[in-house]
Amino acid sequence: MKLKHILESQQFTVPMLMELFERTNQMKKIVARGGTRDYHNKIMCNLFYQPSTRTRFSFESAMHRLGGSVISTEQATEFSSEIKGEMLEDTIQIISNYCDAIVLRHGEEGGAKRAAAVSPVPIINAGDGSGGQHPTQALLDLYTIFNECHSLDGLSVAFVGALDYGRTARSLAYLLSKFERVKLYFIAPEETQIKQDILDHLEEKNVSYELANSTQSFLSKVNVLYQTRIPRERLLNQDMDLSPFYIDSASLQKMKSDSIVMHPLPRSVEINPVIDTDPRAAYFRQAQNGLFVRMALLTMLFDTD
């Protein structure tokens, strides 16, 4: 299955996800063998209008493990010294001459779609605006669950943190709704709960869900605890006790032996580093999966059929 662009997680059907995951498994093996040179004649461009070294490194490493080359900027706003605010469309039409795929991080929602409309080479959306998409993060999250839990059907997944603007939680909830007998928990300070549009979507898809403001009664129930940050500046009561949302050794004792804790990273205080050595702490494996998933996505863009 050939992909043209990677713009939003919604574009992936279940068969596409399964092909992606199969390719991702292959990439794991390829990396273990030292990578491949198969894509040595491909150039990937990182066109970042905002710095995000983590995401940039993940894509660059993926491209190098495939044998390809990279050109990169994290200051695309200063793309030209002459004209501030050059049209994104012009930049894309120029840059597309210099590479075989463009990884775009743009400040405005819809930036990736505008780029794709004029680009002769694949556009990969690496985040467009705070309300926008970051589909490769959602895909690596889903792959991590698939890989750790061996299935995506019948899972109980709790999202914890400030979920209203939580791009990762929103996208992953959306993707999980494609699978059978999924149960979702949204655990957040009330004023930062998941937005109604996601809940409407879940109801439409007959996915059962529950809202709560403490992890306590859910720790023993979930297969996946997806932890995210709670910025204090987002809270009505900035002195609020946030410990019901934090994870430590005591929390882990209540969790199933085959459950996992995920986090998109970087973390702040919401996961105590003492649990890092517990096999259920899956967040560093999750970061590593970012490499394999991005390699797999690049091959799906590059392979001609």
Question: Catalytic amino acids?
Answer: 54-55, 84, 105, 134
Task: Please state the closest distance from residue 205 (CB atom) to its own copies, in A.
Answer: 30
199 binds its own copies (CB under 8 A): no
211 binds its own copies (CB under 8 A): no
Task: Please state the closest distance from residue 63 (CB atom) to its own copies, in A.
Answer: 9
98 binds its own copies (CB under 8 A): yes
184 binds its own copies (CB under 8 A): no
SS3 string of 52-120? Answer: CHHHHHHHHHHHHHCCCEEEEECCHHHCCCCCCCCCHHHHHHHHHHHCCEEEEEECCCCHHHHHHHHCC
106 binds its own copies (CB under 8 A): no
Residue 255 Ramachandran class (φ > 0 left, ψ -120 to 50 alpha, else beta): beta
- Retrieve residue 74's tokens: 């994290």
Q: How far apart are the first and last CA of the chain?
A: 7
Nearer to its own copies, 23 or 294 (CB): 294
Which residues 6+ apart lie within 8 Å of 150 measured at CB?
none
**24-63: contacts with its own copies (CB under 8 A):** 34-35, 37, 40-41, 43, 45, 50-54, 56-58, 60-61
69 binds its own copies (CB under 8 A): yes
Task: Please state the closest distance from residue 137 (CB atom) to its own copies, in A.
Answer: 12
Nearer to its own copies, 6 or 45 (CB): 45
- CA–CA separation, 200 and 15 (whole Å): 24
Task: Please state the closest distance from residue 46 (CB atom) to its own copies, in A.
Answer: 10
Residue spans of beta strands (DSSP E) within the chain:
43-48, 69-73, 101-106, 123-128, 156-160, 183-187, 208-212, 224-227, 260-262
**256-275: contacts with its own copies (CB under 8 A):** 265-268, 273
Which residues 6+ apart lie within 8 Å of 211 measured at CB?
185, 186, 187, 188, 193, 194
99 binds its own copies (CB under 8 A): yes
For residue 68, report the phi and psi dihedrals to the nearest 5 degrees: -90, 180
235 binds its own copies (CB under 8 A): no
Nearer to its own copies, 59 or 159 (CB): 59
What is the 3-state composition of the chain as percent helix, strand, coil, each rounded to the nearest 5? 45, 15, 40
- CA–CA separation, 165 and 172 (whole Å): 13
Nearer to its own copies, 182 or 291 (CB): 291
Nearest to 171 by CA among 28, 299, 283, 17: 17
Nearer to its own copies, 172 or 184 (CB): 172
278 binds its own copies (CB under 8 A): no
Would you tell me which residues interact with its own copies (CB under 8 A)?
34-35, 37, 40-41, 43, 45, 50-54, 56-58, 60-61, 64-65, 69-71, 73-76, 78-83, 86-87, 89-91, 93-95, 97-99, 229, 265-268, 273, 284, 287-288, 290-291
